[in-house]
Structure 1
């Protein structure tokens, strides 16, 4: 899949710290969520570090304004990291959910809300979808998958 013309989203080559951060998000999801069917959860922060979450329910509003407000509240609770882009994103939004990581309508709504919240705050924010076997950037299509992901620490 080719990146969108505006270059939005993640692209190769990924900085090693970002690759580790995304792998850690998948690993944490695999270790924390044992159910095969579960609601989507929006995470904001740094996998393996400080993060805040919003657990979605079936009757949550799909309104862009409400989702943007949710993300603004979550983003406000995460400390700003001072480092260069070679170390990965300042903030990451990742949505954990069951199923394949092809972009669904709900994912597109979270992408739009993330874009709106980041623009309102003037903070760079990356967003990915995370499942049991990998991650995918719904904007650029860049992804990584693993057959059996295990912790590297013994």
Structure 2
């Protein structure tokens, strides 16, 4: 299995990661919120899990079960390709600076890594905020000053 996202990042993966950041920036307006784990295809079917802080800490086994459940939910009704679905990825959306790796980032990374080993699938994992994505293990990432939806800018202007 691949260790994580390394440079140069393949173009199809770059597009999906950019879409994950854009969706987070568009949909999450609060400054402070609990981290949310997403699993699926950005711009497509995505399953999410938000661990409320007052519910207590989750250990590796519980987090891995959450990843498995999200995988099943994101795959429901689809026909998985034999070699796995290269479109699927996992990302943790959280507030704050991504240059500092937090315990939660590594805990979810470990769970995704355990689940992908059990599933036998390549499942990239990154942490995102409103302007960036970053692999907490390899350090690969991208940052945007102003992120726009390219689909809207590609439309012809009304005459």
Query: Normalising to structure 2: TM-score of the pair?
Result: 0.85
- 1:47-72 per-position Cα deviation (integer Å, ceiling 9, x unaligned): 00111000121034321111011111
Q: Cα 1:94–1:37, aligned 2, differ >3 Å: closer, same or farther?
A: same
Distance 1:41 1:151 in 2: 22
Which aligned segments of 4 or more residues in structure 1 are displaced greater than 3 angstroms? Answer: 80-85
Question: Number of aligned pairs?
Answer: 147
Say if 1:140 and 1:70 are closer, same or farther in 2 by CA, change over 3 A: same
Q: 1:83 to 1:153 in 2, by over 3 A?
A: farther
Other-structure match for 1:3: none
Whole-angstrom CA distance in 2 between matches of 1:140 and 1:83: 28
Can you give the 5+ residue segments of structure 2 that lack an aligned partner in the other structure?
Answer: 153-159
| TM-score between the two structures when normalised by the length of structure 1 | 0.87
The whole-number CA distance in structure 1 between the counterparts of 2:123 and 2:44 is 16
Unaligned runs of 5+ in 1: 1-5
C-alpha distance in 2 between matches for 1:45 and 1:28? 13
